[in-house]
Amino acid sequence: MSDLGQLLAATETAVARARSAETPTPDALAGTLRRVRRRRAVRHSVQSMAGVAVVGVLGVTTWLSTHLTDPPIPATTTAPTASPAPTTTPRPTPPAAAPAVPAVHVGTPLPLPDGLIESSTAGWMLVSDVQSRTGVDPYAATPDDYRTLLLLVSPTGERYPVLEVVSDRMSVGVSRWTAGQPMVLASSSDGAAAEQEDLFGTLDLRTGDLAPWTDLPTSTLWIGGTRDGATVWASPQWDRTEIPEGTVPMPRNVLGSQLRMTEFTSIVFHLLVREADGTQRDLGPIDDSRYVTSLSPDGAWVSATAPGGELLLVDLRSATRTTVSTVPPDRTCTVAGWSGPHQLLLSCGTPADLLAIDATTPSSPPRLVGTSEHRVVDATPIGDGRVALGIVTQEAPCDGGGDPAVLADGVVSPLTGEWGPYDHSTFLRFGGGAVVTELNDCYVGHGRAGRQRTVRTDLTTGEVTELSVLEGEVTDDGWDRSVWGWLVGQ
């Protein structure tokens, strides 16, 4: 340490000593806790919705709700011989004959260039930007001091505000959007409610009206959607009185990287399929203890953890549940995502062997498709024979997300060549030939970390486009960007 450093350090020590008896007032600490809780709630409801259409992320309709009764549970078949055994065929529940529910106006449309929504293509993003008025005292803020904008952001970073969320709604989260379409699967929470209660349904970007889906059980979590319009959900079975205050009741792995940073309470969930016509099917319990719950790219399979802890594959068409016995028992294997339309990718050990299991023939031995120096997460095929994925290069507490890479011909190649030496991803999503990542929103504490920002990295060229800083930016009209989430259009 230099002499100047010694002088500064001595001053720092003197200040610490002089104020050693101080702690914040209870009110100040309570205020800090409230601010963090609000941000975590907003991030949870906004960003956790932001998944690609075919990879499991979450949506929350209502949470902390009342006790739900257990529906019939289909039998689970262990398949040591690995031939999928048809099990109880769940009886479809016809569409609820609930009275028509009027649309809820959740956002005010903002002027847009003609045809902008319709001309957006894969790789455009829908962004929820939660802002607070510059200079406002957060301890005395009112709802008018916060606003949420829903924006379209082009692959080159141009922003187009689409909706301003009305003031009595806390946020709008988007979970599924096909670029070029004005209709979005979305949720919105009531900002005035004592407990967060999200309303799930179809949001029209042109009007700001959300048509609620009232037939879904309360507190249902979004897993993914299929091309034929069906949606897949995890329905929690809980008694709210058992939920510790301040925790988020949801499965550990349903949300992939989202949930890896979230406090949770372990809960039994049921896998639920809602067809395009509203018909629902309960495909039985799923556990959250080990294997990520995610929907295959072809929309036909869901991976999960069987109640006994084994890897579970559920055929959504036949409701067949198969436990996979071919996972190497002597390795620590996690679900890394999907390497093909129905090829589940496992990441086993560190360095990791990447093993592919064909969901249609789960009894076949897993096939080694590559190796990686680091554990792999969030794998998804990108249509050109390559598999995009995240490699977990950071240690705890920053091991919730991975740096982007591609798997081709058995080789994992990082896409971080144009990143800074201390840049690391904390959240990533693929779409439109690129990967969008949040950088450096977690710091391992080594004194080395890049600047927080969100970037788009081309999956072929590695070219980097900076989209925005995450926090701290002040808009021209006097608002601080705070927490925001995004969804890459497919």
Positions 106 through 165 that interact with other proteins (CB under 8 A): 134-135, 137-140
> CB under 8 Å to 108, separation ≥6 — which residues?
163, 164, 166, 208
Does 401 help bind other proteins (rule: CB under 8 A)? yes
Q: Which of 113, 144, 421, 476 binds other proteins (CB under 8 A)?
A: 421
CA distance 433 to 437: 13
By CB under 8 A, name the one of 10, 98, 101, 408 that touches other proteins.
10
- 98 lies in the binding site for other proteins (CB under 8 A): no
- Is the preceding peptide bond at 217 cis, omega within 30 degrees of 0? no
Question: According to CB under 8 A, which one of 5, 80, 329, 383 is a site residue for other proteins?
Answer: 5
Q: Tell me if 83 contacts other proteins by CB under 8 A.
A: no
Of 80 and 446, the one with the shorter C-beta distance to other proteins is 446
Residue 6 engages other proteins in binding (rule: CB under 8 A): yes
Interface with other proteins includes 36 (CB under 8 A)? Answer: yes
CA dihedral (333, 235, 44, 467) positive or negative: positive
The two most distant CA atoms of the chain are separated, in Å, by 78
Please identify, using beta-carbon distances, which residue of 39 and 159 lies nearer to other proteins. Answer: 39
Specify the residue, 31 or 278, whose C-beta has the smaller distance to other proteins. 31
Does 387 engage in binding with other proteins (CB under 8 A)?
Answer: no
CB 276 within 8 A of CB 229: yes
Told to check if 171 binds other proteins by CB under 8 A, we report no
From 6-14, 106-114, 177-185, 367-375, give the range in contact with other proteins by CB under 8 A. 6-14
- Answer for which of 121, 247, 350, 361 binds other proteins (CB under 8 A) is 247
Output the smallest distance, CB 122 to other proteins, in A: 26
Pick 43 or 270: Cβ nearer other proteins:
43
Cβ atoms of 201 and 216 within 8 Å: the answer is no
Residue 312's Cα: distance from chain center in Å?
Answer: 21
**Smaller CB separation from other proteins, 226 or 457:** 457
Site for other proteins in 255-294 (CB under 8 A): 260-261, 263
Does 192 participate in binding other proteins (rule CB under 8 A)?
no
- Determine, following the binding rule CB under 8 A, whether residue 448 of this chain makes contact with other proteins: yes
477 is a contact residue toward other proteins (CB under 8 A): no
**Count of residues that interact with other proteins, criterion CB under 8 A:** 78
Residue 196 binding other proteins, by CB under 8 A: no
Q: Does 417 bind other proteins (CB under 8 A)?
A: no
Closest CA to 364 of 326, 314, 321: 326
Q: Does 168 bind other proteins (CB under 8 A)?
A: no
CB of 235 to other proteins, least distance (A): 23
Site for other proteins in 335-364 (CB under 8 A): none
Q: Which two tokens stand for residue 430?
A: 């693929």
The reply to whether 69 sits near other proteins by the rule CB under 8 A is: no
Residues 206 to 245 in contact with other proteins, rule: CB under 8 A: 244-245
CB of 2 to other proteins, least distance (A): 5
Rounded least distance, CB 7 to other proteins, Å: 6
Q: Which stretch binds other proteins (CB under 8 A): 280-288, 328-336, 340-348, 415-423?
A: 415-423
Least Å distance between CB 138 and other proteins? 8
398 scored as a contact of other proteins (CB under 8 A): yes
Q: Judged by CB under 8 A, which of 483, 485, 486, 487 binds other proteins?
A: 483
Using CB under 8 A, which of the segments 94-102, 333-341, 410-418, 444-452 binds other proteins?
A: 444-452
Q: Give the tokens for residue 130.
A: 């939660």
Residue 183 exposed, middle or buried by CB count within 10 Å (0-12, 13-18, 19+): middle
Task: Give yes or no for a cis peptide into 72 (omega within 30° of 0).
Answer: no
Q: Is there binding between residue 19 and other proteins (CB under 8 A)?
A: yes
Q: Is 195 in the site for other proteins (CB under 8 A)?
A: no
Closest approach, Cβ 111 to other proteins, in A, equals 27
Least gap, CB of 147 to other proteins (angstroms): 17
Total residue count of the chain as it appears in this document: 490
